[in-house]
Structure 1
């Protein structure tokens, strides 16, 4: 369930825990495509090739063909041993770590028995020449060596070049909106319906590996404009293994920022417990993996705000019942997660994987703009999600993957159904008397069903080909009455006084919710050919067709369109030895049309709202008179409001009346051009590794925006004329990204050094989302033309410039090493983080009449944000740099059979040097004066606030001080 987000800022947030959508996409397996030759370079046929791995059920056995080739497909990622045997020839072995969606391409030279040892030339997965995409793979155990507070999908993604934090602190990949990424877990999309970022709570210790794909994606990936964060969970093995982990934190362990009081750091131990177990049910046939996570946290807090009438002074509590302003409370959270996975090897060629997940989060005293304790609400979120995958190799040249997923999620929150209504203060925008929403309205239900079929054909013609064909289907179902209070009424008032529990009434907001369900469908067809011409040239030729369709509660189609996206790329291995690899690609991506936009014309999550003025407010000519102060009980008496008839309406919104979609609205598209060069090395005395340089350019088209003021009108229930809100593609909406990335790795003397540097530029006039308002559009063409007459220059409020997430220079460098000693092993890890100063805009508030004149409709709101010199992102904040440290020690305890049982302890210290640095600062300007001394108000002098350019009085302007997190447990 989410808060209504179309109230001009009065209620403008979505619940922090969202739903899940699932479209099975992407690749979760690996391949080996090897060639065997003799000493003269001639192919060797009939070589027996055996693949073994702790990640593999049984042994995979292949035989080389007349060209000396063998191909092993649909391999679970892991550490592999490849053994080659043939009568009269030397037996050979090679070991390699295979990652998600990677192809290992070794070339073996077999010699007669007793001759020299074989030479193996292999393409390192970091510079896989058979694939044009830009991707980085992270094994969970490697991430655990580094100083990260968790091992979540987002934390891993933020280690990757081209990835930064965008709007709302969410993951942004190569300039796309944070809603433009694809989150995959075991092949299923786990994105939240509203924000389209991760919506399922995943247990970190259940993750085996994560791949972050940032560009040059194959046609297999649809509904994406940014990147893909693709994780697979552990499957088990022929030996039992597991772990028990406690993760601990306490705010009192941390250092303080300037202007931060030690009293604000709660001395409360936060504890998270994770249990993971895996092993065989039937060796080589049926494996299991299961994990359990639990945390209970009680956080002391206080009600914030600043009441206009607080007789006891700011911060005083109500002396009669302790529920007033400044009162303390404890916010509680119980989070329980369960995951289970079964992997069944029907035979060498067919594997069935079934996974199940259940999450339950129970929050008490959730604060949704509460002004007193009575306005705190409980919140419960429960989700069930399962999926099944059947992988089959029908012949040596034909494989299939069939997937099915189903999810149900219910999110419920709200005030107590005790007959009382919330009262919102005009002065503080906080709520009193009762909590908003209704925890008895059935909650926000987000269900889906997904189907996916992928077939891969391997064939030879002018080289070798892997041609993938696929079908994707997604059906999303939304049922959400989204009642805004237990009574479907919210009362607006001024001068709230909690001592006398009185206020001056302004209006009553009357909501009407809608039963039923809205549906969104997505269909995808694709063909993608990976063509390996020879040891030098590889090509990608892909084409994808996507179609979406939205339906309202009656089953009527509200919007839909289709689009084609080509994916083309080439790689060139300079000498055919995988040392110097060049790549170039062009791709077009069809982005997801957000369900928050398509559902905006339904009642699901969007109750109708009509606001009526208080009688006394109208009688006072729209003013708040002290003589009109009444009790909270009288404020809730509907007889005190001018409801119905020809009485004026303060606000009106009906998603089925004054909101419309262009029924042929297209999905946004992104054109991407990318080029890269990678060099792999192994230098004596220095070490081995690689370095890679990548350049990318992206340009968005068909961005979806909402326009009001010149899109027609309708009549509200009183006969008044109101303007239409119309969603459609907007050619005036711009968004462009340019980036240059350098990444590399060096292994030397037991140390592993790695990292990346990204220079980038993100510009446009279209943010398209806010911290709590996904899919909001920008209203670029709203109101500046009204009824065909231009009232102001829209570039004053929607200029071109730097967008949120623009990070001109970003560095992430890391190092780690394992030290063995008589007490076990100690692992040390470092991360250095550097971000150039982000850009901010010089802005001020300008009233509606000062911007567009008296003729500009009051439906446009009371004020706008004006940008200085019609330039977005003209100012620059300070750069920030941090050094983080992790120390982990494993203590051997005893053996159980052949298994070692170890204890471990880990401490992570972020900003270990406690660098106290000013990152941002005050950038406030005074509002445009209401005086008409400057007839052209937009050119009135800009007056800086008294604290402009300073970091006084707020710790929020400083980088995070030293932070400490500890973990401990057992592994076997």
Structure 2
């Protein structure tokens, strides 16, 4: 799967699923203040957006990066400057900021620490919260399942929101839909694992039945992911995990279990400036190579099929070859899986009111599925290697 997303934002147009906004009004003793200059600065990147209030004193600056921290400053003739710090924005949610200025001569500048507003039935996870979630599979669904209205099915890795089927949710990454429209994957995504590296996610929000007219084409919930953007600081990270069957036990309550298991997962993230305060990049990469034991098998397998021996299986394979010319390829004992994904994001501050964003997402993977297994004493079943299907997840 390869996805390109190109978005241009201005102060008059906003993509609800990829950007945020700051809005409010400037008043003095209950009277609107016109001609006040409102400046919103994204401190990590130096990105600045400004506007001047009209007769109503209202202001609205949109197309802003989610996250922060932001600083909002207000200057009006005859009043000291008002400054609001430590503001963090949530994707798709306007930040309401009423500003009151006064004639207090003793103050050269009025500094206020803003408090994040809340919105009902919406859960948002910023980068710090995402880092605090344990995800063995490094999957964005492990983040979404933290929502109080969400329930998780460990067998399919599907996330159900407000009791609806997981395939009716809407998944989007930087405004591009990633839902499984055909319902072929039990997890609700077109990929077996997460569509993007977990380190690439800046913010994830879960909305339960939102009433916003810009949201649609789903029944359960809307799960929106925004990828990380670069800023004026060069930064990066890398990880590597490894496990195999030598790192786990082989005896379960007196039963010897022999499982072939190997898992290697690695990746990296890098972001920074190309032109300070103007042009930024962010890139991520993740790769998984894994081999897990087949569920059904003979003695030592996770689920032992009764009444079958290696000799009986060899006899079946010999008959299939001599009579029908069919090679069973022997008993399927392991199931390999590969998953590779990477993202590239470029942000360009064209002017104070225009920003261009380019996103490239690539995901390719393959799993081996094996059907036809049963531990029933009356109808035991087991699958040969030739019965396995390789399912590309691209």
Range of TM-score over shorter length:
0.7 to 0.9
Q: 2:116 aligns with which of 116, 121, 124?
A: 124
Counterparts of 1:79-228 in structure 2, within 5 Å, are 79=68, 80-95=70-85, 96-112=87-103, 114-115=105-106, 118=110, 124-125=116-117, 127-128=118-119, 134-149=121-136, 152-166=139-153, 168-195=156-183, 197-200=188-191, 201-228=195-222
Write out per-residue CA displacement over residues 873-898 of structure 1, whole angstroms, 9 at most, x where no aligned residue.
xxxxxxxxxxxxxxxxxxxxxxxxxx
Partner of residue 235, structure 1: 229
Q: Is the 8 A contact 2:125 2:203 kept in 1?
A: yes
- Cα separation, 1, equivalents of 2:182 and 2:54: 51
In structure 2, the CA distance between the partners of 1:88 and 1:260, relative to structure 1 (3 Å rule), is farther
RMSD (CA atoms): 4.1
- Cα separation, 2, equivalents of 1:250 and 1:193: 36
Secondary structure class of the residue paired with 1:179: helix
Q: Is the 8 A contact 1:90 1:115 kept in 2?
A: no
Q: 2:386 aligns with which of 424, 434, 450?
A: 434
In structure 2, the CA distance between the partners of 1:308 and 1:61, relative to structure 1 (3 Å rule), is same
- Cα separation, 2, equivalents of 1:311 and 1:27: 56
Matched, 1:356 2:350: no
In structure 2, the CA distance between the partners of 1:57 and 1:90, relative to structure 1 (3 Å rule), is closer
- Cα separation, 1, equivalents of 2:99 and 2:256: 64
Matched, 1:37 2:30: no
The aligned length equals 359
Partner of residue 295, structure 1: 288
Displacement of 1:143 after TM fit? 2.3
In structure 2, the CA distance between the partners of 1:242 and 1:124, relative to structure 1 (3 Å rule), is same
Q: Is the 8 A contact 2:272 2:281 kept in 1?
A: yes
Q: TM-score, normalised by structure 1?
A: 0.33
Q: Is the 8 A contact 2:330 2:384 kept in 1?
A: no
In structure 2, the CA distance between the partners of 1:346 and 1:158, relative to structure 1 (3 Å rule), is same
Write out per-residue CA displacement over residues 243-289 of structure 1, whole angstroms, 9 at most, x where no aligned residue.
112234456656899758563565x5633111111122223332221
Q: 2:60 aligns with which of 60, 71, 74?
A: 71
Write out per-residue CA displacement over residues 654-688 of structure 1, whole angstroms, 9 at most, x where no aligned residue.
xxxxxxxxxxxxxxxxxxxxxxxxxxxxxxxxxxx
- Cα separation, 1, equivalents of 2:329 and 2:91: 53
Displacement of 1:198 after TM fit? 1.6
Write out per-residue CA displacement over residues 425-466 of structure 1, whole angstroms, 9 at most, x where no aligned residue.
x955555583366x8xxx9999xxxxxxxxxxxxxxxxxxxx
- Cα separation, 2, equivalents of 1:308 and 1:256: 23
Q: Is the 8 A contact 2:294 2:332 kept in 1?
A: yes
Q: Is the 8 A contact 1:184 1:229 kept in 2?
A: yes
Matched, 1:369 2:374: no
Q: Is the 8 A contact 2:144 2:150 kept in 1?
A: yes
Counterparts of 1:335-734 in structure 2, within 5 Å, are 335-363=339-367, 366-369=368-371, 427-428=379-380, 430-432=382-384, 434-435=386-387
- Cα separation, 2, equivalents of 1:147 and 1:334: 22
Higher RCO structure, 1 or 2 (CA under 8 Å, sep 6+): 2
- Cα separation, 1, equivalents of 2:90 and 2:31: 30
Secondary structure class of the residue paired with 1:369: coil
- Cα separation, 1, equivalents of 2:121 and 2:106: 41
Q: Is the 8 A contact 2:365 2:393 kept in 1?
A: no
- Cα separation, 2, equivalents of 1:111 and 1:256: 73
- Cα separation, 1, equivalents of 2:135 and 2:265: 15
- Cα separation, 1, equivalents of 2:230 and 2:169: 29
Write out per-residue CA displacement over residues 943-971 of structure 1, whole angstroms, 9 at most, x where no aligned residue.
xxxxxxxxxxxxxxxxxxxxxxxxxxxxx
Displacement of 1:157 after TM fit? 1.5
Q: TM-score, normalised by structure 2?
A: 0.76
Q: Is the 8 A contact 1:286 1:343 kept in 2?
A: yes
In structure 2, the CA distance between the partners of 1:75 and 1:148, relative to structure 1 (3 Å rule), is same
Partner of residue 664, structure 1: none
Mark the runs of 5 or more structure 1 residues left unpaired by the alignment: 1-17, 372-425, 447-972
- Cα separation, 2, equivalents of 1:210 and 1:177: 20
Q: Is the 8 A contact 2:45 2:232 kept in 1?
A: no
Partner of residue 51, structure 1: 40
Bigger Rg, which one: 1
Displacement of 1:306 after TM fit? 4.1
Write out per-residue CA displacement over residues 16-63 of structure 1, whole angstroms, 9 at most, x where no aligned residue.
xx999x9x985221111122222x232222222221114656311222
- Cα separation, 1, equivalents of 2:296 and 2:138: 33
In structure 2, the CA distance between the partners of 1:36 and 1:315, relative to structure 1 (3 Å rule), is farther
Q: Is the 8 A contact 1:89 1:112 kept in 2?
A: yes
Secondary structure class of the residue paired with 2:141: helix
In structure 2, the CA distance between the partners of 1:170 and 1:89, relative to structure 1 (3 Å rule), is same
Displacement of 1:158 after TM fit? 1.1
In structure 2, the CA distance between the partners of 1:124 and 1:141, relative to structure 1 (3 Å rule), is closer
Q: Is the 8 A contact 1:45 1:65 kept in 2?
A: yes
Q: Is the 8 A contact 2:173 2:226 kept in 1?
A: yes
